[in-house]
Structure 1
Amino acid sequence: MSLFHTPFIAAPMAGGTSSVALVKAVQDGGGLGFLAAGYKSVESMTAEIAAARGAGLRFGMNVFVPDPAQLPPGAGARARLEEYRAALEADAARYGVTMPPLRLDDDDAWQGKIDALLADPVEFVSFAFGLPGTAVVKALQKAGTTVISSITTVDEALAAAEEGPDAIAVQHHTAGGHTAAFLTSGGPRAESTTAGLLAQVRAAVGLPLIAAGAISDGAVLRDVLAAGADAAQVGTALVRTEESGARQVHKDALGDPGFTETAMTRAFTGRWARSLVNDFVRDHHDAPEGYPAIHHLTAPIRAAASAAADPHRVNLWAGAGWRSARTGSASSVVKEFLSGL
């Protein structure tokens, strides 16, 4: 039996998609669910942990690692952010919302979340957007937590392994939502398949591996397991399910034949992420780097677009296998993935 007791892991999806209800449905189907601390306060994160425990669930928590280079960004980067803010005025005017001032100090309550996870440990903690540091890894392990670092290249895997995590999540560029890249730009690439990248990482490090990126059905799950994965992390395939907390406009877009491709974009948050290509992605194809400052700039536009059921000004995170995402219960989706094993 693997470290996770199942080959199916529900990817942590920040912004409300990874609900306690989704974690429960995934567990009912035979998988392991993750909650996402990203964009939440420490209090909201701990409340979700309490709710999941109260429901008797096994689960993990994902935490964003802040980028010191963005806290705050340098003068040149700040000037580019101000230019982008001005470029967003037309989008804001479409919905009658006001553009907020630049926010350059948001570290997503990093230390508070680490302190809370040490004070009241959960079974699994995964990290994205960077490495947490050896001291954090060791402290969490001492508290009884299994630690997972996320990477996108062999070089990142080697750097992660130096810190001594229990496992590594190997994210291919076909994955939906934000890239976990931290040693490269994380922009568009044309490298191997998810199984191919996983095999490269398997040859470089001796840790349990989780495959992520376009794990769209049971056949792909079997491929990555055959390539050496201990489990696969599945995100987009769960977004449309009943228990997903994703916005309805997002769920509907994934099933809309009017959307025909995905692309990596920085338009919504200032960090590369894979989304369905809509008007906002097209209009802001040259958006600068600047996470999470751009996330805060576009937040009122995205909220207004969602309220108006307008899919063309909201982030529609989607992996390359998005067409297979279906409605119904997440438990049924998990069972279908696992049925051929």
Structure 2
Amino acid sequence: MAGWKHSTVSQRLGLRLPIVQGPFGGGLSSVALVAAVSEAGGLGSFGAHHLDGDGILRVSADIRAQTAKPFALNLWVPFEDSDDPQLSAAEFTTHRDRLAPYFKELGADLPAQPARFMPRYAEQVEAIWQARPAVLSFVFGAPAPEVVDRCRELGIVTIGAATTVDEAIALEAAGLDMLVATGFEAGGHRVAFLQQPERGLTGLFALLPQVRDAVRIPVIAAGGIADGRGIAAARLLGADAVQIGTAFLACEESGTHALHREALFSPAARHTELTRAFSGRLARGIRNRFVEESRGQAVAPYPVQNWLTGQLKKAAQAAGRTDLGSLWCGQAAPLLKVRHATALMQQLEQETDALLG
């Protein structure tokens, strides 16, 4: 048995391979993908920050109906008033009307202000405790001490995400069991929480050994890893496991729209950009018309902007368009070759065996 497969992460979580599937928010995760990755020996993950308590319980039950292996659920830690933004009707109208020309172009009605832009975080946490997944991972900071303590009582392993050494130290001090060191190559949101994300744009292979030297808890490497070479390099730099996002996002089993999946395999995936245009928070995706036209424009705060562009994205997808919706994508997308999760896990294992076996 190849030594790279044995680590504190794989041993603690009962995994055959120290590979974590990145948790995708906004409906991009799927039960089928989680089950496929977990069945293949990795840790399947489901981004649950858009689900209410009942939704989390349903998803957990559906995953367990497909696999008895460990899996993770992921939540976003609230920031400032993101859990329940106080927005007047006039303020909502101002933010919405900036996008009105796009809705008109797509022949879609302007959306009305919702009662809430996101489910309540406290309700989500309570549901997680009922569901009792093997792992609960967090982004955008550390949960409150009582949340960490309750997870420990229930036997739920907690994982945080860091974009800097200082954030890694803070997560360890908060009592989390493991952390993900996230390089700026990663697709989706920059999960910084101690400073503006624009000030912490460090590549994984510079960040990883510094984090490894700074903390004692297990470190999972993320950002720019899409094949066995990335896994081997991360393990040699001190990672106890790797987290892979874009390669799994591109799999047929994911919740990604077919238009998005095809874009990940297209030449367009060579050109990604960090932007706040889609959610109000900095995130990496394929550069498209909306990203280009949003430069220098005012953007509503998260989660208001996220909700508004989510409505726009639905209309764009219905029209078969990729120019007006988010296409989350990491910088390793040009390395993608495989379109099914089980085959991807096999490829990752075989390639890493060849290098480290």
In the alignment, is residue 318 of structure 1 matched against residue 329 of structure 2? yes
Contact 2:269–2:329 (CA<8 Å) still a contact in 1?
A: no
What percent identity do the matched residue pairs reach?
33
Amino acid paired to 1:334: M
Q: Secondary structure at the match of 1:147?
A: strand
In the alignment, is residue 159 of structure 1 matched against residue 170 of structure 2? yes
Q: Give the Å deviation of 1:104.
A: 8.8
Q: Give the Å deviation of 1:324.
A: 1.8
Q: Secondary structure at the match of 1:3?
A: helix
Alignment of 1:1-341 (within 5 A): 1=6, 2-4=8-10, 5=15, 6-55=17-66, 56-70=68-82, 83-101=94-112, 106-187=117-198, 191=202, 193-286=203-296, 287-288=298-299, 290-339=301-350, 340-341=352-353
Segments of 5+ residues of structure 2 without an aligned counterpart are 1-5
Q: TM-score, normalised by structure 2?
A: 0.88
Q: Secondary structure at the match of 2:46?
A: strand
Amino acid paired to 1:11: G
Q: Give the Å deviation of 1:33.
A: 0.6
Contact 2:56–2:128 (CA<8 Å) still a contact in 1?
A: no
Aligned length: 338
Segments of 5+ residues of structure 1 without an aligned counterpart are none
CA distances 1:208-261 after superposition (whole Å, capped 9, x unpaired): 011111112110111111111111110101122121110111001112224541
Cα RMSD of the aligned pairs, angstroms, is 2.2
CA distance in 2, matches of 1:118, 1:288: 35
CA distances 1:181-232 after superposition (whole Å, capped 9, x unpaired): 11122237653x3122011111111110111111121101111111111111
Contact 1:10–1:34 (CA<8 Å) still a contact in 2?
A: yes
Amino acid paired to 2:239: A
Q: Give the Å deviation of 1:72.
A: 5.7
Q: Give the Å deviation of 1:107.
A: 5.0
Contact 1:118–1:143 (CA<8 Å) still a contact in 2?
A: yes
Q: Secondary structure at the match of 2:133?
A: coil
Amino acid paired to 2:301: G
CA distance in 2, matches of 1:72, 1:119: 23
Q: Give the Å deviation of 1:141.
A: 0.9
Q: Secondary structure at the match of 2:331?
A: coil
Q: Give the Å deviation of 1:331.
A: 0.9
Q: TM-score, normalised by structure 1?
A: 0.92
Structure-2 change in CA distance of 1:23 and 1:259 (3 Å): closer
CA distance in 2, matches of 1:66, 1:190: 22
Structure-2 change in CA distance of 1:157 and 1:143 (3 Å): same
Structure-2 change in CA distance of 1:132 and 1:190 (3 Å): closer
Instruction: Tell me the residue number matched to 2:3.
Output: none
Q: Give the Å deviation of 1:30.
A: 2.7
Q: Give the Å deviation of 1:320.
A: 0.7
Greater relative contact order, per chain length (Cα 8 Å cut-off, separation 6+): 1
Q: Secondary structure at the match of 2:180?
A: strand
CA distance in 1, matches of 2:300, 2:196: 9
Amino acid paired to 1:35: F
Amino acid paired to 2:277: A
Q: Give the Å deviation of 1:105.
A: 5.2
